[in-house]
Chains A and B, each alone.
Chain A
């Protein structure tokens, strides 16, 4: 398979990448890991006239800063997978990247690339939304910050302007009393998810749940924030909370689009199963995390 012809340039900084995007016109495209873009180019679903390679634009840094995990947009899934800082402070991210593609895809694919690509079945947009992450963006008019909830518009479409690039991703870290869980259903290891669920629960010192974030991905055209439907869990310990009822409500209410892999009714049923599983695991983790000095 051959991609359509294109010009290739390397950017040595984020600002150079933005300048090049402006110069090379709206059919130019940035490339980081290329694990989503290149297959689309090979299948001629995408035919950029120029590729601007971001590999040299920044370091692949992961830092803890003011209660947030700050990841360069070029951080690869494999970097996240093996990062102890990530595993300790945003374990949902570790769980999610393990489900992405295979070792080769994780070795090249980047967090910024995944979020900018906006694939409806991708894992990281669900995690970003559940954790209320923000992306740092650079464009011709300077920097701005976009909350995860305002980034994904629909399948393969984000709110990024044509000459804007994501430079970093900020993820609020787990606080004391918070626990999280990411689960997905795919037909085989590394395949596109049919359903994914990201849950982030908070519990008080006495064990009662005080906060719930819940995101369902891969079933609609973008991840769905279903936190409202999870509010009946609050005010009681996990064991007494109506987990199954919440799971049923979410499955009934979430928008489920057509898929070539399985029917709508089946995937709704799987939403209920996965929401229940994610809430119970996140709740158990939250219970263990009630004291700051986690043993």
Chain B
């Protein structure tokens, strides 16, 4: 290159920008002024304009349209794969210890007590094959907040879309769906759920399915107890958690560990009848009928909301149980 005067070197970048339609107005004016007086730069300016013209024709040139369509189809299929395996999760503290919530694009797929640990390595997520994990507190913030409200007793429903794919079988999914339908403040038994899904002999299998419940609290397996009122089990041996969750709903339990049982004398009873009447525990010998056929209810309001009416002989409307 020939040596250029200082002014020409100084304005070169702006000159290129101006010639290729890429300069700010003030720079374009400076260039215009300069090339008015400098023939060499005027030549350069026109040369760059010509180059810009050639560059402009590159825009229309792309790879084959077929390849583009192929790439798009490949993307759709890889995207579908990613969507089905991607779970976003967040771990947060709660009155029941650290809890992990994970969700897919279909819905919430895991609620997990981390039992004294506070990081994802304690989660069963780490042992799952074919799952891609992504920490995402922003996406799970609403769920987190609603769960804390629930645990404080400020919220009675968790109306979350659920993704039951982490359940182990269709039978487990049927158990979870039936359990999810047990209302806030009500109790039934494993046998009751077995009957509900049309497998009355499968009581133990129901208990196993709830032992593996991937969505505790939101699928309220804590509302499922033994036919006599014993709490039986929860999240391994965490009967205390079950008691606390029931207490939030106004249901008291007595005794420790395997002796732990709900106080039927403090709860309203409903056993299926054509009049849809619910009773006091002192009505006839209903208190000795197995839970399952009998549903226990924490309050008269709950009974009313389920479309039940007070029994005309024991009159729970006139003799409310002590709160």
Do A and B bind? no
Give residues in B with beta carbon < 8 Å to A: none
Give residues in A with beta carbon < 8 Å to B: none
